[in-house]
Structure 1
Amino acid sequence: MLTHRGFVAALIVRRSYGFVQERKELFLTRRQLRRNVCGMTWKTEKLPYAGILATIESDKNNNFYAELNESIETKWKDKYLSAWLRIPLAQAGLAAEASRLGFRMHHAPADGETLILYKWLSNDSEDKVPYYAPATQIGCAGFLVNKNREILVIKEWRIRSDGSRVPAHMWKLPGGLADPGENILQAAARETFEETGIKSHGISVLAFWHRHNVTPWEKSDLYFIVRLECIAAENQIQLCPSEIAAARWVKIDNYFNSNDEEFKHPLIRKICRELYTSTEPTSEMIDLGIQFPGRDLYPTYFPQHLTKLTQKILAVASDVDGTLLMKNAQLHPQNKIAILNTNIKFFPATGKCRAGARNSLDGIPITAGVFVNGLVVYDDNDSIIFERTLSKETVQIVQSICKGHEASNFFLVAYCRDCLFSPTPEASRVAELATFYKEPKPIMWPSNSQTISPNKLLILGEPQSLLDARPRIEQSLESYASITSAMSNMLEVLPLGASKRLGVQALCNHLGTCEHTQLLAIGDGENDIDMLRHAAIGVALENASPSVKRAADIIVNDNDSAGAARALGIASA
Structure 2
Amino acid sequence: MTSVQTPKIKAVFFDVDGTIFSLKTKSIPESTRKAIKNLREKGIKVIVATGRSINDLSHIKHIEFDGFMTFNGGYCMTVDGQVMYRKVINTDDIKNLIDYSERSDVSFSLMYEDTVRISHESPKVLELYRHVDIPVPALVDKEKLDIENVLQVNVFIDPEMEESFMREIMPNSLSSRWTPLFADVNPGGVSKQGGVEYFCEYFNIDLSETMAFGDGGNDISMLKSVEIGVAMGNAGDNVKDIADFITEDVDNHGIEKALMHFGLLV
TM > 0.5: yes
Where do 1:61-80 residues align within 5 Å? none
What is the Cα deviation at residue 524 of structure 1?
0.9
Distance 2:170 2:93 in 1: 10
Question: 3-state DSSP class of the match of 1:373?
Answer: helix
Q: Deviations over 1:482-534 (max 9, x none)?
A: 111121211111111211211121112111111x2111011111111111111
- TM-score for the superposition, normalised by structure 1: 0.43
Distance 1:353 1:523 in 2: 17
Distance 1:354 1:433 in 2: 18
2:94 counterpart of 1:398: no
Tell which has more relative contact order, 1 or 2 (C-alpha 8 A, sep 6+).
Answer: 2
Choose from 32, 42, 67 the match for 1:368. Answer: 67
Question: 3-state DSSP class of the match of 1:539?
Answer: strand
What is the Cα deviation at residue 314 of structure 1?
0.6
Partner of 1:537: 228
Partner of 1:321: 17
Where do 1:199-214 residues align within 5 Å? 204=2
Distance 2:240 2:27 in 1: 23
Could you say which structure has the higher helix fraction?
2
Partner of 2:38: 341
Choose from 151, 162, 171 the match for 1:470. Answer: 162
Distance 1:415 1:456 in 2: 5
2:192 counterpart of 1:492: no
Distance 2:21 2:184 in 1: 20
CA contact (8 A) 1:370 1:376 kept: yes
2:140 counterpart of 1:445: yes
CA contact (8 A) 2:223 2:242 kept: yes
Cα pair distance change 1:500/1:493, threshold 3 Å = same
Choose from 525, 549, 554 the match for 2:216. Answer: 525
Write the letter of the residue equivalent to 2:52: K
Distance 2:98 2:66 in 1: 33
Question: 3-state DSSP class of the match of 1:497?
Answer: coil
Partner of 1:554: 245
CA contact (8 A) 1:349 1:371 kept: yes
Question: 3-state DSSP class of the match of 1:543?
Answer: coil
Cα pair distance change 1:412/1:518, threshold 3 Å = same
Distance 1:478 1:390 in 2: 9
| Amino-acid identity (%) | 24
Name structure 1 gaps, 5 residues minimum.
1-184, 186-203, 205-285, 287-301
Distance 1:571 1:413 in 2: 41
CA contact (8 A) 1:532 1:539 kept: yes
What is the Cα deviation at residue 443 of structure 1?
2.0
Question: 3-state DSSP class of the match of 2:16?
Answer: coil
Write the letter of the residue equivalent to 1:370: M
Where do 1:279-294 residues align within 5 Å? 286=3
Write the letter of the residue equivalent to 1:445: V
The structure having more radius of gyration, on CA atoms, is 1
Of stretches 520-529 and 560-569 in structure 1, the one that deviates more from structure 2 is 560-569
2:51 counterpart of 1:351: yes
Write the letter of the residue equivalent to 1:356: D
Cα pair distance change 1:571/1:526, threshold 3 Å = farther
Distance 1:383 1:433 in 2: 30
Distance 1:380 1:415 in 2: 21
Question: 3-state DSSP class of the match of 1:330?
Answer: coil
Of stretches 446-455 and 411-420 in structure 1, the one that deviates more from structure 2 is 446-455
Partner of 1:454: 150
What is the Cα deviation at residue 452 of structure 1?
4.9
Cα pair distance change 1:386/1:428, threshold 3 Å = same
Q: Deviations over 1:461-492 (max 9, x none)?
A: 5xxxx123112212214631111112121111
Choose from 497, 501, 512 the match for 2:193. Answer: 501
Write the letter of the residue equivalent to 2:141: P
Question: 3-state DSSP class of the match of 1:484?
Answer: strand
Where do 1:206-225 residues align within 5 Å? none
Write the letter of the residue equivalent to 1:523: G
CA contact (8 A) 1:486 1:526 kept: yes
Distance 1:442 1:473 in 2: 24
Cα pair distance change 1:401/1:374, threshold 3 Å = same
Question: 3-state DSSP class of the match of 2:51?
Answer: coil
Matched residue pairs, number? Answer: 259
What is the Cα deviation at residue 365 of structure 1?
2.7
Partner of 2:29: 332
Write the letter of the residue equivalent to 2:9: I
CA contact (8 A) 1:401 1:473 kept: no
Cα pair distance change 1:379/1:420, threshold 3 Å = same
Task: Indicate the RMSD between aligned Cα atoms, in angstroms.
Answer: 2.2
Where do 1:82-101 residues align within 5 Å? none
What is the Cα deviation at residue 457 of structure 1?
0.5
Q: Deviations over 1:311-357 (max 9, x none)?
A: x1011001011111223232222111211222221111000111212
Q: Deviations over 1:264-291 (max 9, x none)?
A: xxxxxxxxxxxxxxxxxxxxxx1xxxxx
Q: Deviations over 1:426-451 (max 9, x none)?
A: 44543455544244641232324245
Question: 3-state DSSP class of the match of 1:510?
Answer: helix
Partner of 2:112: 416
Question: 3-state DSSP class of the match of 1:485?
Answer: strand
Could you say which structure has the higher strand fraction?
1
